[in-house]
A and B are shown apart, each in its own frame.
Chain A
Amino acid sequence: DGGITQSPKYLFRKEGQNVTLSCEQNLNHDAMYWYRQDPGQGLRLIYYSQIVNDFQKGDIAEGYSVSREKKESFPLTVTSAQKNPTAFYLCASSMTSASSYEQYFGPGTRLTVT
């Protein structure tokens, strides 16, 4: 089955700890994205990558870091510098041709930091 997987589904961490969220896709998509969703709000873009070994900051990149060493994988690290890390994190992927910017989402990781 083709799709996007994220793990874990739920994650609990203590304040001051870094945590890495996994995102893997087997859709052969070039582009991958990380979003954050807070209750009652839309999606905000954290980072995105169009090609291996390259990525760009989104609207709320502070306190986050990413890597893109493989086409299939785009892990997100939430660092201790992120002031309000508790949120629902969504990974998505898409092709990069203008006729097909449809983004497909993984199931998400719900992070709680106390």
Chain B
Amino acid sequence: QKEVEQNSGPLSVPEGAIASLNCTYSDRVSQSFFWYRQYSGKSPELIMSIYSNGDKEDGRFTAQLNKASQYVSLLIRDSQPSDSATYLCAVNIAGSSNTGKLIFGQGTTLQVKP
């Protein structure tokens, strides 16, 4: 079982809709969770970090964390064509809690159609 799993997609949503991206992880003691956006040919850009159970909102983005079920999700409201990108989930694994090492999922490609 991979340590961090994401559906590779593509996930296709119409403009203005809510896009829901999901990520599951295997390490029960993981404490820090991150979402990165990566446009084609570019480097990843941090868009959300979440450390405790529940929801965290930032503009059109909401990160949701459920440690009991070991999943973290990213909701994008009012999706725009400019949101079309690959979204990477990253988890700080317990064995490296003092090193900052992250394990990345393979990413979910989001396509927002006008």
Write the residues of chain A forming the contact surface with B, with a CB cutoff of 8 angstroms: 31, 33, 40-43, 45, 48, 50, 56, 58, 90, 94-96, 98-99, 101-108
Among A42, A45, A108, point to the contact of B101 (Cβ < 8 A). A45
- How far, in whole Å, are A84 and B35 apart by their CA atoms in the complex? 28
Q: Does B61 contact A (CB under 8 A)?
A: no
The interface residues of chain B lying within 8 Å CB-to-CB of A56 are 99
The interface residues of chain A lying within 8 Å CB-to-CB of B99 are 31, 48, 50, 56, 96
Which among B11-19, B70-78, B104-112 touches the partner chain? B104-112
Q: Does B60 contact A (CB under 8 A)?
A: no
The interface residues of chain B lying within 8 Å CB-to-CB of A45 are 101
Among A41, A50, A58, A106, point to the contact of B100 (Cβ < 8 A). A50
Among B43, B46, B98, B107, point to the contact of A98 (Cβ < 8 A). B98
Q: Is the CB of B43 within 8 A of A105?
A: yes
Chain A, Cβ-Cβ closest to B8: A40
- How far, in whole Å, are A99 and B32 apart by their CA atoms in the complex? 8
1/0 contact string of B83-100 vs chain A (CB within 8 Å): 000001010100001111
Q: Does B22 contact A (CB under 8 A)?
A: no
Chain A, Cβ-Cβ closest to B105: A42
The interface residues of chain B lying within 8 Å CB-to-CB of A108 are 42-43
- How far, in whole Å, are A18 and B99 apart by their CA atoms in the complex? 29
Q: Is the CB of B98 within 8 A of A102?
A: no
Among B8, B45, B100, point to the contact of A101 (Cβ < 8 A). B100
Q: Is the CB of B97 within 8 A of A103?
A: no
The interface residues of chain B lying within 8 Å CB-to-CB of A96 are 98-100
The interface residues of chain A lying within 8 Å CB-to-CB of B106 are 40-42
Shortest C-beta distance, A92 to chain B (Å), equals 8
A-B contact pairs, 19 of them (CB 8 A): A31-B99, A42-B88, A42-B104, A42-B105, A42-B107, A43-B44, A43-B88, A45-B101, A58-B101, A90-B43, A95-B100, A98-B97, A101-B92, A101-B102, A102-B49, A103-B90, A104-B46, A105-B43, A105-B44
